[in-house]
Amino acid sequence: MKRVTIRVPATTANLGPGFDAFGCALSLYTDVTFEETEEGLEITGCDEEFTGPDNLAYVSYCAALATMSEELRGIKIHIDSQIPVCRGLGSSAALLVAGAMGANVLRGNKLSTQGLLNITNAMEGHPDNLAPAFYGGLTASMVDNGLPVCVNFPLHPDWEFLALVPDFTLPTTVARQALPTEYDRADAVYNIAHGALVLKALELGDEKLLRNAMQDRIHQPYRKKMISDYDKIESLIRTTGAAFCLSGAGPTLLCITRNPGLEEKLARKIHDITEANWQMLPLHVEFQGARVISQE
Ligand code: HSE
């Protein structure tokens, strides 16, 4: 029976003003092994509640098989994930990417990466986590006529990322429900301008420009109310000079800096000012997207 293991990086979406458009792959990983069997479905390596047919890796695996007009046979799926679940670091996108890629590899690589992106975007609804998960690095994406179009952007090599991950979850569906359905023109203009400058600042390695540009009027002002400690942590990070944003839909908060030692600087203070328990994860950019790490 054929077997493949797919490794997918964590991703941070939005990067402040780039709501549903910008994303970046980070150095945490989900490995998913797919092994074809005679019949049935067996899922291991995750909480019992995710071991049924609505598991995202399996749903995506089935969708890719259907697109290829391939027969669904039995499958064993084992998930080994470092990515915190439901925290805004792309754990769901990683499973969707792994499922589609796993099916594609097991059935002869009939689909291109763009084809896999199309399938997974139809399930996720926005490509900002999926694009960096597939392609690695920094990406910006648009959806045109229902299909995602994604490009990589250059990134200065000296950036360091520090993810602050709380001990509570915030489901993306809940975080999206908190957003307005209409915005003022001034807010739209604000985000377009800030978004363009975020990309340039990330390319140049300009921390001051990034700090100023990484502000948003589309999602963060509405979501921060659901994240205890947000204002206190933002104020603390602003004293360090690092750029700051919500990671994806939250609740993880992301700091981006070129100055080493941010973790040590924050560690001494963060526990004194916060109510929740915040874990600090120092990360770097992952320039390689989803890939096969073993195949039999
Ligand atoms: N762009 C998405 C959002 C990312 O902010 O809701 C989370 O899936």
CA dihedral (160, 247, 123, 294) in degrees, to 10, reads: 30
The tokens 């363009």 sit on which residue?
196
Structural domain containing residue 175:
160-283
User: Atom 6 of ligand 1 has which residue's CA nearest to it?
Assistant: 249
pLDDT in tens, 48-107: 999 999 999 999 999 999 999 999 999 999 999 999 999 999 999 999 999 999 999 999
Question: What lines the ligand 1 site, CB under 6 Å?
Answer: 13-14, 19-20, 126, 128-129, 172, 175-176, 219, 248-249
**Same structural domain, 169 and 180:** yes
**Same structural domain, 16 and 134:** yes
Percent of the chain scoring above 70 in pLDDT: 100
Backbone angles phi, psi at 289, to 5 degrees: -85, -165
The atom of ligand 1 lying closest to the CA of 92 is 8
User: Atom 1 of ligand 1 has which residue's CA nearest to it?
Assistant: 20
Q: What is the pLDDT of residue 203?
A: 98
The atom of ligand 1 lying closest to the CA of 19 is 1
**Same structural domain, 30 and 143:** yes
Mean per-residue pLDDT of the chain: 97
Percent of the chain scoring above 90 in pLDDT: 97
- Counting the structural domains of the chain, the total is 2
**Same structural domain, 139 and 49:** yes
**Same structural domain, 118 and 224:** no
Could you tell me the distance, in angstroms and rounded to a whole number, from the CA of residue 82 to the centre of ligand 1?
A: 20
User: Atom 5 of ligand 1 has which residue's CA nearest to it?
Assistant: 249
Angle at 254 between CA 157 and CA 170, to 5 degrees: 145
User: Atom 4 of ligand 1 has which residue's CA nearest to it?
Assistant: 248
CATH number at residue 189: 3.30.70.890
- In angstroms, the CA 148 to CA 142 distance is 6
CATH number at residue 54: 3.30.230.10
**Same structural domain, 16 and 133:** yes
Q: Using the 8-state DSSP alphabet, how is residue 285 labeled? A: B
Enter the pTM of the model: 0.96
**Same structural domain, 32 and 73:** yes
User: Atom 3 of ligand 1 has which residue's CA nearest to it?
Assistant: 249
pLDDT in tens, 188-219: 999 999 999 999 999 999 999 999 999 999 99
Task: Indicate the pairing of strand 243-246 with strand 3-13.
Answer: unpaired
**Same structural domain, 61 and 79:** yes
For residue 181, name the pLDDT band (cuts at 50, 70, 90).
Answer: very high
**Same structural domain, 32 and 144:** yes
**Same structural domain, 99 and 202:** no
Q: What is the pLDDT of residue 268?
A: 79
DSSP string of 176-230, one letter each residue: HHTS-S---HHHHHHHHHHHHHHHHHHHHT-HHHHHHH---SSSHHHHGGGSTTH
The atom of ligand 1 lying closest to the CA of 124 is 8
Residues paired with residue 37 on neighbouring β-strands, in sequence order: 74
Could you tell me the distance, in angstroms and rounded to a whole number, from the CA of residue 41 to the centre of ligand 1?
A: 30
Could you tell me the distance, in angstroms and rounded to a whole number, from the CA of residue 128 to the centre of ligand 1?
A: 7
> How many Cβ atoms from other residues are within 10 Å of residue 43's Cβ?
19
**Same structural domain, 118 and 175:** no
**Same structural domain, 48 and 145:** yes
Could you tell me the distance, in angstroms and rounded to a whole number, from the CA of residue 173 to the centre of ligand 1?
A: 9
Q: What is the pLDDT of residue 1?
A: 83
Pocket test for ligand 1, best of 83, 97, 120, 129 (most atoms within 8 A of CB): 129
For residue 277, name the pLDDT band (cuts at 50, 70, 90).
Answer: very high
